[in-house]
Chain A
Amino acid sequence: MAIEVRIPTILRSYTGGEKSVEGKGDTLGDLFSDLDERHGGLRGRLVSDDGGLNRFVNVYLNDEDVRFLGGIETPVTDGDVVTILPAVAGG
């Protein structure tokens, strides 16, 4: 078992075009670091310089926005599904 991570079109250049990749970790932050080992550069699009979640993406753990869970520290476990979407916002 692993954690399934669904990748939006805009970030598939990091996954060789794959819509979905697998990773492991105890928290979302760990998972992103694990993914970055095989998909170099991906973490930099998800995590900002201060170590928090990048505001340009929405990240969901089993359909729940992780901003309302524990952000980058949200615990994850085998069998979870993480969905990444580009945030749509502006001024």
Chain B
Amino acid sequence: MLRIGQDVYDAIVAHARRDHPDEACGVVTGPAGSDRAVDVRPMLNAARSPTFFEFESQELLQLYRDVDDRDEDIVVIYHSHTATEAYPSRTDITFGSNSPDSHWVLVSTRDPDTVEFRSFRIADGEVTEEPVEITDAKM
């Protein structure tokens, strides 16, 4: 299960809306081993594409360096789908198997009035959806 604060949820959705019609991507970090998603960090989509995303390579290096320095984990990796449902694509599954310790959050921006926000675990090519619990208080 993914438990996140309303503020984190809102920040991810706002980022996805802002970058529409391109895919938005980013992470939420938190203290190592805590599974607490605390700090939203929007990342540049180096692909700048409505159908693909890739973390820009220098930003990726800096992200891992910061996470190491601060003894944090990348708790959530999120990105948006702009024309399809919030479910991992085949490409997501291939790359996602590289990051089995993170929750994969998908947001669909295909409908401007409806928010689709779902969370998955991806490991060894297998996708498992998990419930998302939104908490009021900042975690």
A and B assemble together: yes
Could you tell me which A residues sit within 8 Å of B by CB distance? 8-10, 56, 58, 60, 63, 65, 67, 83, 85-91
Measured CB to CB, the nearest residue on chain A to B104 is: A90
Closest chain A CB from B26 CB (angstroms): 10
A87 touches B94 (CB 8 A): no
Closest chain B CB from A10 CB (angstroms): 6
Chain A positions within 8 Å of B95 at CB level: 56, 87-90
Q: Give 6 nearest A-B pairs by CB, closest first.
A: A91-B91, A90-B92, A89-B54, A86-B98, A65-B57, A91-B89
Measured CB to CB, the nearest residue on chain A to B96 is: A90
A90 touches B52 (CB 8 A): yes
A87 touches B61 (CB 8 A): no
Partner of A9, one of B79, B96, B101: B101
